[in-house]
Every structure is written in structure tokens, then in C-alpha cells.
Amino acid sequence: MESATAKVAIVTGAGSGIGRAVSLALLGAGWSVVLAGRRAEFLEETAGLARDAAERALVHSANVADPESVAALFEASRARFGRLDLLFNNAGTGAPPVPLEDLSFEHWKRVVDINLTGAFLCTQAAFRLMKDQEPRGGRIVNNGSISAHVPRPRSVAYTATKHAITGLTRSTSLDGRAYGIACGQIDIGNAGTEMTKAMSKGVMQADGSIAAEPTMDVSAVAEAVLYMAGLPLEANVQFMTVMATNMPFIGRG
């Protein structure tokens, strides 16, 4: 086990997009970071981008929807770093944008398994570590979405899970009080990643029209999570919304 001179974080979905940006920001700020995700080659790319800070990164391939895989992830983190100060529940996926009545059970289940069950399993594992370590406690930040507030058309699975993440955040925040575990949620709108490239060409609006939407640099999200993570445990950002200024959220629909 390494000497724990830096704070330790686990970031799920660390191989791309928001997860990669947050992982690099944490590493740049001196954290030790467990880079978790399904595709080891993308996690290795993230570690490579950290340059010298990569010595404080642990690459671990994991499926957050599988309880045994999650258990192995958190055990690997404990064995390497000895404690856990931050879990960023970021791993997520969507379903094809089809009419609600045409969404397959398989697509529904996959979104629920990854977005909701995965976040729960990681939260549960983090609780077990954080309540038993010295000093006790830690922080969990859940990646919600603008869709935790209002839906896009043809997004029933994604929207349902993101609304559920808000319930998970609230329950985790309440149940964590006894152990010094803080939990907050960041709701993100139109961060500039591979997932949002199509927005510049046009996406469906509530009235059925297609319109291009503005995006923001993903570094704004990374900076926000870094701020939340850096607070003392006596303080918590319960909910934060970070979004492209001109995107259709206020007034959507």
C-alpha cells in the first residue's frame, strides 16, 4: 500500500468526456485517482494525458453494473491507496432516441443498470470504506444532468435514471451524516464532449423541431467538481447546475 500523502478519488467513466476531464483536474491538483471504466485502453489514454501525475493514477477496468466488479474496484483502490476521500459517480449511458413505446426492454435495462444501479453499487462500496477508515468520512459527487430536472424528447430511460439519481443523492446525503460522508450532485448541460458533438448540427426540441444548441468547454465542469471535492467535510454543495449559458434549459419546451 502506498503512503497516502494525497487525497484519493475514484472516478467512474474516466476513459472519456467528463470523467476524463475531472480525473485530469484532480490529478493536476495533487490527488491520487483511480481511473475506472469498462475499456482499459481509454483509461490508459487518460493516465497518459496526466504526464508526470500519472504515477498517482491507478487504471482499473470495471463494470459498475456488476456487484463483483465494483467490489474488486474498491478493494484495488483500498489496497493501493489505503483510504478513499472522493467518489465521482460519473459512468453513464443513454438509449436510442426512439418513441417511448418503441424502446426495447434491453435498452431500458442497460441504462438503468449503468446509470442508477451502478451509482448505487459504487455508493454502497464507498460507504463501507469511508465509515471504517481513519480519519472517517469522505465525499460522494453524483453526475446528474439537466435531465434530472426536465427531459429531452425521446429520452425516457435516461431521464428516469437521472431523476432517480437526485433521490439517490438526497438519501446518501442523509444516511451519510452519521459517518461524516457528504454527498452532492452536479447537473451538467451541454458540456463539449464526444457525446454532444451532434448538438452543433441540430438535435430535437420539445416542439419536434431540430435546432443547433451551444455547448461549453468541459473544463468548466472539471473546475466545478474540483471545487466541490476540495471543500472541508463540514461544508457541502448539495446541488450545482453547470451549463452552457445559452442552451435551452431555462424556458425549455
> Catalytic residues, which ones?
158
d(CA 5, CA 214): 41
Please state the φ and ψ torsions of residue 75, each to the nearest 5 degrees: -70, -40
Q: Extract the runs of DSSP E, i.e. beta strands, from 134-228.
A: 138-143, 181-189, 191-192, 203-204, 210-211, 216-217
- Burial grade of 165 (CB within 10 A; 0-12, 13-18, 19 or more): buried
Q: Which residue has the cell 473546475?
A: 223
Check residue 25 and report its DSSP letter. Answer: H
The rounded distance, in Å, linking the Cα atoms of 35 and 50 is 12
E strand segments, the chain: 8-12, 32-37, 57-61, 86-89, 138-143, 181-189, 191-192, 203-204, 210-211, 216-217, 239-243
Are 142 and 183 contacting, i.e. CB atoms less than 8 angstroms apart? yes
